[in-house]
């Protein structure tokens, strides 16, 4: 056995993937199943104790490559070519038993959603030590001791007892750390992190990220870190590999990739948040004012908005920022009348808007349009793009026939899509195109205000960037105002004129963009701002140090 | 939309057989070689050129009886299905759209009706009601509408919370547009597939009742009733009772195949990667 | 075992009891207030008005409906199911031996069908989309489309008439030796098994497949566990509840199937008793048997729900 004899002198290169080719069978609607290639001849090497970041948009094949290091293909994916040399042997040739021996022992996996990846029927500790016991790495007592030490290292609360809990009794951010402890517990050579912080709120993400980074450093484990967020991966990796459509784009040191990208695509990913937008002065009277609005679900049982007041100026953008549960989407529901406020008023053009949607005249409805986060469920799958965009024209302006079609074509032009799209169904569009159609539908009503609810958060960064630029252009052309709801501060910086920061149903900071983003900050805004990853090596350490100092100062 | 070449073999088979049964049912008097009640030979004659399926317990031509039986079976099942469907779907959609006390009241009552097995409750009710075709259709239709209600309410509730329906409400669309243009087109496929399933259930339910002697009354006879008429022959090795029973099975399978295909077409607009 | 879960179970049982009462009302209403007239039904169209009036008086039909309901309910609760109109016999004493027979038949079918369905369901999952899975789903399609009497008479035709291995009529009597009794019910029990097997198998397959596609199964796979250990340690604890649920729902379904099967095999059980008395319009018998069938059905459903509650770790270990 090569492994036991080389235990003392393991090869310097831990993982060497050569010309990896991965295929899957797809079932296109109404056609015969066919094989598609997900990964085209990708090669990579990883030295012991190093971290390689795999970055790319959806469909880049980054998770597929990461999982191939465990000889695993998810959902009918097959490794059809190449070699995967781990610890000096090709793991594609070791057979099912050999693969089982390396999984959980030499390579461990941290999933995006720890909440789903833990078995709800077993205690956390039993699951954390399972692989160590299975592979005979440690006795139960040793493994539990090690697990508790790892819980502590990952700054989990009550490290001695948290293992006695069940997955649903622990929060998402904590579960993600427990999963990291689970991966580290059997002291593997390599851990595959598959978007481990993507599902978390930004202020939680930074803690988990720091915990993962410390743990990697202290245990000298190597890692493949998969993410779509370049700023995140820049904090933890030694090298970064950029992938697109299953092909290698660029591979280099972290500094080189983020500071001196050699490929155009990498450059686009690096500069994705740089949008030119000059803050408009808060001049003139607001046309929509939210005054002291309080709203609750369940007949007043759960207060989700507390005494919120904001103003929106014509042709300007108010960004509402907050994490999940901050009440930012509820604010939109209160303004649109979907959730009538309990107290407070919404005034429009100097007169109060009816609280309930049903009581509002058509004209008021026309002036307030909305764009959703999930474009694919925001459009009726049984209607064509032409019908979807054309309906507001019919409904509000009574346009019919050729006149309507002309206007639909015009709108399609405005969202940079061709006339040919009018006959397509939503299912035939890409994610970005769907969101564009939703924008056109909102624009068709010629509204004064469009509420954008997390409109870019389901999209890949480059596509999202295109949508934001489009929104800014349209704002200039049509003089429409936006209420932009988001959790992403980078987006806010690029497009807002004024900002409202929300926390637990309250507006904690509100004003023009320059004012809100200039110190001195209140505690929450500071936390939020300092948690947004920046594309800067060493940002994570600085941010964590800043927070420690602050808590020491308090 | 509908590409004939893309219809799978199973669905073709289902469509053709269902069509044949329908033709038999509609044109029964012209197709059947003999009259429904006409005695043409001896009791339980074997299959022969004169009587393709032999004769029944009274010496009537079994093939002719089968063709007339198709008419009665399918007619009653179609009417009962129509009733259960219109009743169930209307109440289900309304409950989903209106919500509140109406939804609660209807839903609880449906729960109650469904807590008694359909056949048992049908028997209980039929023990006091006059035995005629109208009663049968009403009892079958009303009892079965509970299932349609559950499905259509669930489908409508699911669609009702989708963002595109909210978008329509925000636009100010009326209830009519929302139900007929937003919800219904998306609910249609599961409902059409369910229509097939409910029809099969109606056929089987009617056959069971007739077999038990509580359904269609002589001299008329549906297939279930024909099984009852001829069942005593079985112990003498005469398979006459098996023929109508098999016909019920074939009809049910054909409709099932069509319903399965309709349901599978629902996912056509989505596509995606399977779990090879 | 914790307090909230006991509370949930207690709630479910209480709900079941409420449901039973509601069902008793429904059955009573269904048989008494609908446009049929019991007295007329018994005596036929030719009855004299005097005879009708006498019978109505005798049956207590002139009392208000709610009084008659409570009188009936009180009887049911104390084990008095009344007397049959047609034979004048005490219903309770006719029902118990028949209930025993029916439960024996259903039990025999369940003993075969439940393990078989679970094993076949597991096989279908293990080799999903393979030939075994295809055969199983074809079989399921056939069996959901076949009327019970088709399956029943096919069995009789071949096993009893052509090959003469089992009796066509299942005669059982008191004090019959167990093995002989078993032989008598082979055919009806087989028919009943075939009636529920496919459905149960299909639902088991779906329940297990649902669990097998969870992310935590992938986690276990990536820890290097053997397929068998994955199923035993990670899939099984989560699949128990849905499978128990499937089994209970199908046993409830079996209770209904038993009616037709008993008539086919002339088996002296509850089903045949019910059908006979529906034809004779013997309302007290129909009410009593209907209520018992409904009660069995409801109890099985309650057990299914309780199994689901017990197996849910979120409820077993609340925050």
Which residue of B lies nearest to A336 if distances are taken between CA atoms?
B170
Q: How confident is the model at residue A494 (pLDDT cuts 50, 70, 90)?
A: confident
Q: What is the pLDDT of residue C33?
A: 60
How confident is the model over A78-94, as a mean pLDDT?
Answer: 91
Q: Which of B203-207, B254-258, C237-241 has maximum average pLDDT?
A: B203-207
Q: What is the pLDDT of residue A29?
A: 57
Q: Lowest mean pLDDT of A44-48, B200-204, C46-50, name the range.
A: C46-50
* Residues paired with residue A485 on neighbouring β-strands, in sequence order: A320, A453
Are A407 and A366 within one domain?
Answer: yes
Q: What is the pLDDT of residue A2?
A: 40
Chain B residues inside the 8 Å CB shell of C84: none
Q: Which of A27, A357, A370 sits opposite B274 (nearest CB)?
A: A27
Q: Lowest mean pLDDT of A185-199, B137-151, C99-113, C299-313, name the range.
A: C299-313
Structural domain ending residue among the three candidates A242, A270, A298: A270
- B116 at C interface, C-beta within 8 A: yes
Q: What is the pLDDT of residue B5?
A: 63
Which residue of A lies nearest to B268 if distances are taken between CA atoms?
A29
Q: Which of B115, B125, B245 sits opposite C294 (nearest CB)?
A: B115
How confident is the model over A201-209, as a mean pLDDT?
Answer: 86
Where residue A53 falls (left for φ over 0; alpha for ψ -120 to 50; beta otherwise) is beta
- Mutation choice for B interface testing from C106, C150, C280 by most B CBs within 10 A: C150
Q: What is the pLDDT of residue B265?
A: 67
CA B241 – CA B237 distance, rounded (Å): 10
Q: Is the pLDDT of residue B276 over 60?
A: no
Q: Which of C19, C145, C277 sits opposite B112 (nearest CB)?
A: C19
Token output for A299: 């007949």
Query: Are C147 and B126 a contacting pair at CB < 8 A?
Result: no
Q: Is residue A523 part of a domain?
A: no
Angle at B250 between CA B248 and CA B253, to 5 degrees: 110
Chain A residues inside the 8 Å CB shell of B271: 27-29, 427
Q: Is residue A277 part of a domain?
A: no
Domain enclosing residue A140, as ranges: 36-270
**Residue C210 main-chain phi, psi, to 5 deg:** -60, -45
The CATH class, in words, for C97-279 is mainly alpha
Query: Average pLDDT of chain B?
Result: 85
Q: Is the pLDDT of residue C247 over 90?
A: no
C106 Cβ contact partners less than 8 Å away, ≥ 6 residues apart:
C192, C251, C254, C255, C258
Chain A residues inside the 8 Å CB shell of B99: none
Are A212 and A347 within one domain?
Answer: no
Q: Is residue A170 part of a domain?
A: yes
3-state helix, strand, coil in chain B (%, to 5): 75, 0, 25
> Could you count the other beta carbons within 10 Å of the beta carbon of residue B82?
16
Strands in A96-187 per DSSP E: 107-110
Decide: helix, strand or coil at residue C301: helix
Query: Are A374 and B272 a contacting pair at CB < 8 A?
Result: no
Chain C residues inside the 8 Å CB shell of B253: 141-142, 145
Token output for B172: 């100010």
pLDDT in tens, B89-125: 889 988 887 778 889 999 989 988 888 888 888 988 8
How confident is the model over A354-364, as a mean pLDDT?
Answer: 88
Q: How confident is the model at residue A118 (pLDDT cuts 50, 70, 90)?
A: very high
> Could you count the other beta carbons within 10 Å of the beta carbon of residue A37?
16
Q: Is the pLDDT of residue B202 over 90?
A: yes
Own/partner long-range contacts of C73-79 (Cβ < 8 Å, ≥24 apart): C73/C24, C73/C28, C76/C24, C76/C288, C76/C291
Q: Is residue A27 part of a domain?
A: no
CA B140 – CA B134 distance, rounded (Å): 10
- A109 at C interface, C-beta within 8 A: yes
Q: What is the pLDDT of residue A3?
A: 42
Which residue of B lies nearest to C164 if distances are taken between CA atoms?
B235
* Extents of the domains making up chain B: 72-264
B44 touches B57 (CB < 8 A): yes
CA B175 – CA B182 distance, rounded (Å): 10
Q: How confident is the model at residue B270 (pLDDT cuts 50, 70, 90)?
A: very low
The answer to whether the peptide bond before residue B219 is cis (omega within 30 degrees of 0) is: yes
| DSSP assigned state of A51 | E
Listed residue (A381, A386, A435) closest to A411, CA to CA: A386
Q: How confident is the model at residue A4 (pLDDT cuts 50, 70, 90)?
A: very low
Per-residue b or e along C210-226, where b marks 16 or more CB atoms closer than 10 Å to that residue's CB:
ebbebebbbbbbbbbbe
Q: What is the pLDDT of residue B2?
A: 52
**Residue A96 main-chain phi, psi, to 5 deg:** -60, -40
Element of type H or E holding A211: helix A202-219
Chain A residues inside the 8 Å CB shell of C226: 100
Q: How confident is the model at residue B142 (pLDDT cuts 50, 70, 90)?
A: very high
Query: Are B242 and C157 a contacting pair at CB < 8 A?
Result: yes
ipTM of the complex: 0.84
Chain C residues inside the 8 Å CB shell of B236: 161
Pairing of strands A13-26, A77-86: antiparallel
**CA-based nearest distance A338→chain B, Å:** 8
Q: List chains adjacent to chain A, taking adjacency as at least 3 C-beta pairs closer than 8 Å.
A: B, C
Token output for C205: 């397959």
CA A215 – CA A247 distance, rounded (Å): 31
| DSSP assigned state of B219 | T
For chain B, helix (H) and strand (E) counts, in that order, are: 11, 0
**Topology adopted by domain B72-264:** MetI-like fold (1.10.3720)
Chain B residues inside the 8 Å CB shell of A443: none
> Could you count the other beta carbons within 10 Å of the beta carbon of residue A374?
18
Listed residue (A64, A50, A55) closest to A15, CA to CA: A50
| Alpha-carbon distances, residue C302 vs B121, B125, C20, C22 (angstroms) | 19, 25, 11, 15
Are A429 and A486 within one domain?
Answer: yes
CA C242 – CA C206 distance, rounded (Å): 9
Q: How confident is the model at residue B40 (pLDDT cuts 50, 70, 90)?
A: confident
Which residue of A lies nearest to B185 if distances are taken between CA atoms?
A382
Per-residue b or e along A465-498, where b marks 16 or more CB atoms closer than 10 Å to that residue's CB:
bbbbbbbbebbeeeebbbbbbbbbbbbbbbbbbb
What separation, in Å, do the N-terminal and C-terminal C-alpha atoms of chain C show? Answer: 14
Q: Is the pLDDT of residue B1 over 90?
A: no
Q: Is residue A259 part of a domain?
A: yes
Q: What is the pLDDT of residue A299?
A: 67
Are A266 and A292 within one domain?
Answer: no
| DSSP assigned state of A103 | B
Are A264 and A316 within one domain?
Answer: no
Query: Average pLDDT of chain C?
Result: 84
pLDDT in tens, A14-31: 999 999 999 988 776 556
Query: Are A120 and C238 a contacting pair at CB < 8 A?
Result: yes
Q: How confident is the model at residue C2 (pLDDT cuts 50, 70, 90)?
A: low
- B235 at C interface, C-beta within 8 A: yes
Token output for B142: 């009303």
Q: Domain count of chain A?
A: 2
Query: Are B275 and A441 a contacting pair at CB < 8 A?
Result: no
Q: What is the pLDDT of residue C38?
A: 63
CA A103 – CA A110 distance, rounded (Å): 12
Token output for C105: 């038949």
How confident is the model over B61-82, as a mean pLDDT?
Answer: 92
CA atoms in the 13 A half-sphere facing the CB of C285:
29
Are A261 and A293 within one domain?
Answer: no
- Residues A66/A70/A75/A78 CA torsion (nearest 10 deg): 90
Angle at B97 between CA B92 and CA B103, to 5 degrees: 60
Q: Is the pLDDT of residue B217 over 90?
A: no
Pairing of strands A239-244, A51-55: parallel
Q: What is the pLDDT of residue A31?
A: 63
Q: How confident is the model at residue A554 (pLDDT cuts 50, 70, 90)?
A: very low
pLDDT in tens, C158-202: 888 888 888 878 777 777 788 888 888 899 999 999 888 888 888
Angle at A184 between CA A178 and CA A189, to 5 degrees: 155
Where residue A316 falls (left for φ over 0; alpha for ψ -120 to 50; beta otherwise) is beta
Chain-centre distance for alpha carbon C124: 25
What separation, in Å, do the N-terminal and C-terminal C-alpha atoms of chain B show? Answer: 27
B228 Cβ contact partners less than 8 Å away, ≥ 6 residues apart:
B210, B211, B212, B213
Chain B residues inside the 8 Å CB shell of C253: 117
Which residue of A lies nearest to C214 if distances are taken between CA atoms?
A116
Q: Is the pLDDT of residue C319 over 70?
A: no
> Could you count the other beta carbons within 10 Å of the beta carbon of residue C242?
20
**CA-based nearest distance B127→chain C, Å:** 5
Q: Which of A100, A119, A165 sits opposite C224 (nearest CB)?
A: A100
Scanning C211-240 for CB atoms below 8 A from B yields: 213
> Could you count the other beta carbons within 10 Å of the beta carbon of residue B176?
8
pLDDT in tens, A370-424: 999 888 889 998 899 999 999 999 999 998 889 999 999 999 998 888 778 888 8
A91 touches A102 (CB < 8 A): yes
Q: List chains adjacent to chain C, taking adjacency as at least 3 C-beta pairs closer than 8 Å.
A: A, B
Which residue of C lies nearest to A75 if distances are taken between CA atoms?
C213
**CA-based nearest distance A28→chain B, Å:** 5
CA atoms in the 13 A half-sphere facing the CB of C293:
33
Which residue of B lies nearest to A447 if distances are taken between CA atoms?
B171
* Residues paired with residue A494 on neighbouring β-strands, in sequence order: none
- Residues C49/C53/C58/C59 CA torsion (nearest 10 deg): 90
Quick one: angle between helices C186-212 and C236-264, nearest 10?
Answer: 160
Q: Is residue A129 part of a domain?
A: yes
- State the sign of the Cα–Cα–Cα–Cα dihedral C170, C173, C176, C178: positive
Q: What is the pLDDT of residue A5?
A: 42
Which residue of B lies nearest to A387 if distances are taken between CA atoms?
B181
Query: Average pLDDT of chain A?
Result: 88
Which residue of A lies nearest to B182 if distances are taken between CA atoms?
A380
A497 touches A310 (CB < 8 A): no
Chain C residues inside the 8 Å CB shell of B125: 30-31, 34
Token output for C151: 């399956």
Tokens 């059982």 sit at which residue?
C172
Chain A residues inside the 8 Å CB shell of B6: 30
B227 touches C291 (CB < 8 A): no
- Mutation choice for C interface testing from B110, B117, B204 by most C CBs within 10 A: B117
Q: What is the pLDDT of residue B35?
A: 82
| Alpha-carbon distances, residue A242 vs A190, A192, B165 (angstroms) | 20, 16, 40
CATH assignment of the domain containing A238: 3.40.50.300
A197 touches A211 (CB < 8 A): no
**Residue A86 main-chain phi, psi, to 5 deg:** -120, 130
**More confident position, B40 or A47:** A47
The answer to whether the peptide bond before residue A520 is cis (omega within 30 degrees of 0) is: yes
Scanning B171-210 for CB atoms below 8 A from C yields: 200, 204, 207-208
* Residues paired with residue A288 on neighbouring β-strands, in sequence order: A312, A348
B187 touches B155 (CB < 8 A): yes
A286 touches A318 (CB < 8 A): no
| DSSP assigned state of C266 | T
How confident is the model over A520-527, as a mean pLDDT?
Answer: 86
Are A262 and A297 within one domain?
Answer: no
């Amino acid at each position: 056995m090569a492994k036991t004899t080389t235990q003392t002198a393991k090869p310097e290169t831990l993982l060497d993937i050569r010309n990896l080719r991965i295929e899957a069978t797809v079932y296109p609607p109404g056609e015969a199943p066919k094989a598609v290639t997900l990964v085209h001849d990708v090669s990579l090497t990883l030295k012991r104790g190093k971290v390689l970041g795999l970055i790319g948009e959806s469909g880049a094949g980054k998770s597929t490559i990461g999982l191939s290091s465990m000889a695993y293909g998810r959902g009918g994916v097959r490794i059809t070519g190449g070699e995967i040399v781990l610890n000096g042997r090709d793991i594609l040739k070791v057979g099912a038993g050999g693969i089982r021996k390396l999984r959980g022992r030499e390579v461990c996996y941290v999933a995006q959603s720890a909440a789903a990846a833990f078995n709800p029927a077993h205690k956390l500790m039993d699951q954390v030590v399972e692989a160590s016991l299975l592979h005979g790495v440690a006795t139960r007592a040793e493994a539990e001791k090690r697990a508790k030490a790892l819980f502590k290292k990952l700054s989990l609360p009550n490290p001695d007892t948290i293992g006695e809990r069940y997955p649903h009794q622990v929060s998402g951010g904590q579960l993600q750390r427990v999963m990291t402890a689970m991966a580290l517990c059997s002291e593997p050579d390599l851990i595959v992190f598959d978007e481990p912080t993507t599902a978390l709120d930004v202020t939680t993400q930074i803690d988990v990220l720091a915990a993962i980074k410390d743990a990697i450093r202290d245990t000298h484990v190597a890692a493949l870190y998969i993410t779509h967020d370049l700023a995140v991966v820049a904090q933890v990796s030694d090298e970064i590999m950029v992938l697109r459509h299953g092909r290698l784009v660029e591979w280099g040191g972290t500094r080189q990739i983020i500071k001196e990208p050699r490929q155009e695509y990498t450059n686009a990913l690096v500069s994705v948040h740089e949008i030119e937008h000059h803050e408009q002065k808060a001049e003139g009277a607001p046309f929509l004012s939210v005054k002291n609005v309080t709203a609750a679900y369940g007949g007043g049982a759960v207060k989700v908005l507390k005494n919120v007041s904001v103003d929106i100026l014509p042709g300007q953008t108010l960004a509402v920022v907050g994490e999940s549960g901050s009440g930012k989407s509820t604010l939109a529901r209160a303004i649109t009348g979907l959730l009538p406020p309990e107290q407070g008023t919404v005034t429009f053009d100097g007169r109060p808007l009816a609280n309930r949607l049903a009581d509002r005249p058509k004209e008021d409805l026309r002036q307030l349009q909305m764009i959703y986060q999930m474009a694919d469920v925001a459009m009726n799958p049984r209607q064509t793009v032409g019908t979807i965009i054309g309906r507001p024209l019919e409904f509000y302006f009574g346009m019919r026939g050729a006149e309507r079609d002309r206007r639909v074509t015009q709108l399609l032009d405005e969202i940079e899509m061709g006339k040919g799209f009018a006959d397509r169904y939503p299912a035939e569009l890409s994610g970005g195109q769907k969101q564009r159609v939703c924008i056109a539908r909102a624009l068709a009503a010629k509204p004064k205000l469009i509420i954008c609810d997390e409109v870019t958060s389901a999209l890949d960064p480059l596509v999202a960037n295109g949508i934001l630029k489009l929104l800014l252009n349209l704002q200039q052309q049509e003089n429409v105002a936006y209420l932009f709801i988001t959790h992403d501060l980078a987006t806010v910086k690029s497009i807002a004129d004024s900002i409202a920061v929300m926390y637990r149903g309250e507006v904690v900071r509100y004003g023009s963009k320059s004012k809100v983003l200039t110190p001195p900050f209140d505690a929450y805004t500071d936390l939020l701002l300092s948690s947004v990853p920046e594309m800067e090596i060493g940002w994570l350490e600085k941010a964590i140090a800043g927070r420690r100092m602050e808590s020491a100062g308090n | 939309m509908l590409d004939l070449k893309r219809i799978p073999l199973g669905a073709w088979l289902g469509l053709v057989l269902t069509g044949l049964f329908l033709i038999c049912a509609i044109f029964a008097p012209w197709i059947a070689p003999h009259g429904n009640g006409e005695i043409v030979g001896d009791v339980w004659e074997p299959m022969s050129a004169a009587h393709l399926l032999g004769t029944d317990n009274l010496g009537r031509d079994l093939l002719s009886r089968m063709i007339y039986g198709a008419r009665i079976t399918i007619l009653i099942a179609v009417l009962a299905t129509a009733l259960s469907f219109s009743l169930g779907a209307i109440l289900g959609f309304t409950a989903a759209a209106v919500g509140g006390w109406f939804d609660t009241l209807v839903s609880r009552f449906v729960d109650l009706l469904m807590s008694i097995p359909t056949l048992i409750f049908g028997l209980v009710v039929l023990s006091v009601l006059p035995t005629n075709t109208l009663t049968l259709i009403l009892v079958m239709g009303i009892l079965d509408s509970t299932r349609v209600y559950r499905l259509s309410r669930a489908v409508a509730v699911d669609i009702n919370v989708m963002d595109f329906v909210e978008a329509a409400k925000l636009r100010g669309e009326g209830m009519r547009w929302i139900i007929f243009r937003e919800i219904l087109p998306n609910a249609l496929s599961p409902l059409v597939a369910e229509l097939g399933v409910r029809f099969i259930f109606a056929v089987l339910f009617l056959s069971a009742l007739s077999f038990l002697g509580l359904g269609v009354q002589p001299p008329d006879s549906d297939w279930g009733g024909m099984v009852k008429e001829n069942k005593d022959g079985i112990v003498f090795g005469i398979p006459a009772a098996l023929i109508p029973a098999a016909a019920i099975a074939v009809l049910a399978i054909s409709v099932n195949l069509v319903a399965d295909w309709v349901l599978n077409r629902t996912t056509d607009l989505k596509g995606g990667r399977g779990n090879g | 075992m914790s307090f909230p879960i006991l509370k949930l179970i207690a709630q479910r049982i209480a709900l079941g009891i409420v449901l039973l009462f509601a069902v008793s009302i429904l059955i009573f209403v269904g048989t008494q207030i609908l446009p049929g007239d019991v007295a007329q039904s018994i005596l036929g169209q030719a009855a004299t008005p005097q005879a009708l009036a006498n019978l109505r008086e005798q049956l207590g039909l002139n009392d208000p409906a709610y009084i008659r309901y409570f009188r009936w309910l009180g009887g049911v609760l104390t084990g008095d199911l009344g007397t049959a109109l047609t034979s004048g016999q005490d219903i309770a004493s006719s029902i118990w031996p028949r209930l025993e027979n029916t439960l024996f038949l259903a039990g025999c079918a369940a003993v075969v069908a439940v393990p078989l369905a679970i094993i076949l369901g597991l096989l279908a999952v293990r080799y999903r989309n393979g030939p075994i899975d295809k055969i199983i789903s074809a079989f399921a399609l056939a069996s959901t489309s076949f009327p019970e009497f088709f399956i029943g008479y096919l069995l009789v035709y071949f096993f009893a008439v052509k090959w003469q291995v089992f009796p066509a009529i299942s005669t059982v009597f008191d004090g019959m030796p167990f093995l002989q009794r078993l032989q008598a019910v082979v055919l009806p029990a087989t028919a009943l098994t075939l009636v529920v097997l496919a459905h149960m198998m299909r639902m088991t397959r779906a329940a297990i497949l649902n669990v097998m596609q969870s992310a935590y199964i992938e986690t276990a796979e990536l820890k290097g566990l053997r397929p068998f250990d994955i199923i035993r340690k990670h899939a099984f604890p989560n699949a128990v509840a849905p499978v128990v649920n499937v089994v209970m729902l199908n046993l409830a379904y079996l209770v209904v199937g038993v009616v037709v099967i008993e008539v086919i095999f002339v088996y002296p059980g509850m089903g045949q008793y019910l059908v006979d008395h529906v034809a004779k319009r013997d309302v007290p018998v129909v009410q009593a048997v209907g209520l018992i069938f409904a009660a069995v059905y409801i109890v099985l459903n309650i057990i299914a729900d309780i199994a689901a509650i017990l197996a849910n770790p979120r409820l077993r270990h609340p925050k």
